[in-house]
């Protein structure tokens, strides 16, 4: 892969999807070919594909693959099969709302297609491809909207980010890293500081890789160094992604984001969340309602073949935490910049009354 070539983690190719295997980066740039719903579910669960928008896109293709796995022309039997495929995909990971709305959008497309089973299959493929293409345009818009929040001084800024909210986590370009890319293109970026993001190290392995691919200056730090860097005035602003945002602006993101928000507030460093409108779950009043995924403890105690801890001890491995809206300076979306308590303004007008 040449430097500066765009990164697309999900590629449709001749009746299959090619996924960049994110569990092998940065040491190996390889793809996994998926053309069955169960394999797509496994790819989401094992984080071959990860990141809120990306798993929504992956699940959408998973529904389409499921539609090809039943031989029937009977509509009800076909739709019942789709529902069972949807249940499997919903069970993969609980926090990122993109997974759930993408599945719902696919099922809605199927129910609204009054043609033959084969015509429904065609609609499902078109819908999955639309979800993918729309997300890329959304990330480009988020990135460019992010330019509006950049302080006038210094001319070249340092931006700290957590986990990977980059091209690998989306259809391409990224959300938080979309802001970074747009700032870099505009000559407004001095350097990215990437939290390594224990335990799965998405920052060290994925964000650093994306930046290195494009020649964007990047410094990897351990999560525990972020406070020191802000205390030393090394960080001009923080931009992170999101997996689910409640209607009041409380935001679920990778574990450690809440720590970062507290430290940023303590040091008066602006703290931004970059996310598509589709990551806002208007059905939830507050972040306490967002389900937090707990993952296998081996992610904590095992690095490669090495065990970090003695046997016989307990572990707790929540993959996400909730940053309260009051710690968030603003939320950068494809529709513009919103204060966390203004999110109802960016909801489509026909649904707005559900929030009040």
Ligand X SMILES: CSC[C@H]1O[C@H](OP(=O)(O)O)[C@H](O)[C@@H]1O
Instruction: Tell me how far CA of residue 84 lies from CA of 33, 77, 128, 302, in angstroms.
Output: 23, 11, 18, 34
Q: Contact with ligand X (CB under 6 A): which of 159, 319, 325, 332?
A: 319
Estimate the crossing angle of helix 117-146 against helix 52-67, to 10 degrees. 170
Q: Are 189 and 183 in contact (CB under 8 A)?
A: yes
Nearer to ligand X, 235 or 252 (CB): 252
Name every residue whose Cβ is closer than 8 Å to that of residue 209 and which is 6 or more positions away in sequence. 25, 26
Nearer to ligand X, 120 or 238 (CB): 238
Mask for 188-217, x = binds ligand X (CB under 6 A) = --------------x---------------
Q: Are 28 and 20 in contact (CB under 8 A)?
A: no
The piece of 30-38, 61-69, 123-131, 163-171 that touches ligand X (CB under 6 A) is: 163-171
Q: Are 254 and 320 in contact (CB under 8 A)?
A: yes
Catalytic choice (144, 243, 281, 321):
243
Is position 321 annotated as part of the catalytic site?
no
Peptide bond into 26 cis (omega under 30): yes
50 is in an annotated binding site: yes
- Look at the alpha carbons of 19, 24, 27, 30 in this order and tell me if their dihedral is positive or negative: negative
202 is in an annotated binding site: yes
| Distance between CA atoms of residues 46 and 348, nearest Å | 34
Nearer to ligand X, 247 or 319 (CB): 319
SS3 content of the chain, % helix, strand, coil (to 5): 45, 20, 35
Contact between 132 and ligand X by CB under 6 A: the answer reads no
- Edge-to-edge strand list for the sheet holding 31-34: 10-13, 16-20, 31-34
93 is in an annotated binding site: yes
Contact between 170 and ligand X by CB under 6 A: the answer reads yes
Q: Contact with ligand X (CB under 6 A): which of 60, 165, 208, 230?
A: 165
The piece of 44-52, 262-270, 302-310, 322-330 that touches ligand X (CB under 6 A) is: 44-52
Q: How far is the CB of 123 from ligand X (least distance, A)?
A: 27
- Residues from 237 through 256 that contact ligand X (CB under 6 A): 240-241, 243, 253-254
Binding residue positions for substrate: 50-52, 93, 202, 253-254
**What residues make contact with ligand X under the rule CB under 6 A?**
50-53, 163, 165, 169-170, 175, 202, 240-241, 243, 253-254, 319
Q: Could you list the active site residues?
A: 243
């Amino acid at each position: 892969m040449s430097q500066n070539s765009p990164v697309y983690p999900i590629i449709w190719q001749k009746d299959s999807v090619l996924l960049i295997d994110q569990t092998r980066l940065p040491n190996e740039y390889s793809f996994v070919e998926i053309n069955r719903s169960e394999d797509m579910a496994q790819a989401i669960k094992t984080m071959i594909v990860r990141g809120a928008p990306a798993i929504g896109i992956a699940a959408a293709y998973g529904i389409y693959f499921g539609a090809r796995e039943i031989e029937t022309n009977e509509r009800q039997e076909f739709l019942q099969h789709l529902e069972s495929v949807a249940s499997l995909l919903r069970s993969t990971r609980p926090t990122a709302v993109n997974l759930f709305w993408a599945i719902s959008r696919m099922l809605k497309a199927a129910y609204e297609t009054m043609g033959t089973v084969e015509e429904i299959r065609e609609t499902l493929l078109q819908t999955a491809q639309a979800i993918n293409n729309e997300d890329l345009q959304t990330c480009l818009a988020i990135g460019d909207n992010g330019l509006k929040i950049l302080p006038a001084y210094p001319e070249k800024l340092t931006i700290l980010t957590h986990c990977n909210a980059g091209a690998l986590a989306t259809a391409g370009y990224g959300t938080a890293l979309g802001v970074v890319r747009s700032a870099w293109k505009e000559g407004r970026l001095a350097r990215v500081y990437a939290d390594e993001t224990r335990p799965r190290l998405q920052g060290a392995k994925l964000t650093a890789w994306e930046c290195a691919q494009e020649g964007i200056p990047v410094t990897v730090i351990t999560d525990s160094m972020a406070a020191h860097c802000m205390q030393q005035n090394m960080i001009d602003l923080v931009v992170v992604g999101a997996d689910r945002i409640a209607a009041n602006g409380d935001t679920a993101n990778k574990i450690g984001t809440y720590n970062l928000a507290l430290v940023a507030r303590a040091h008066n460093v602006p703290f931004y969340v970059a996310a598509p409108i589709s990551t806002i779950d208007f059905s939830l009043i507050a972040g306490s309602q967002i389900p937090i995924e707990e993952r296998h403890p081996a992610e904590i105690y095992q690095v490669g073949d090495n065990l970090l801890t003695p046997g016989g001890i307990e572990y707790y491995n929540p993959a996400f935490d909730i940053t309260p809206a009051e710690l968030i300076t603003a939320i950068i979306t494809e529709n513009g910049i919103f204060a966390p308590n203004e999110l109802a303004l960016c909801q489509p007008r026909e649904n707005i009354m559900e929030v009040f």
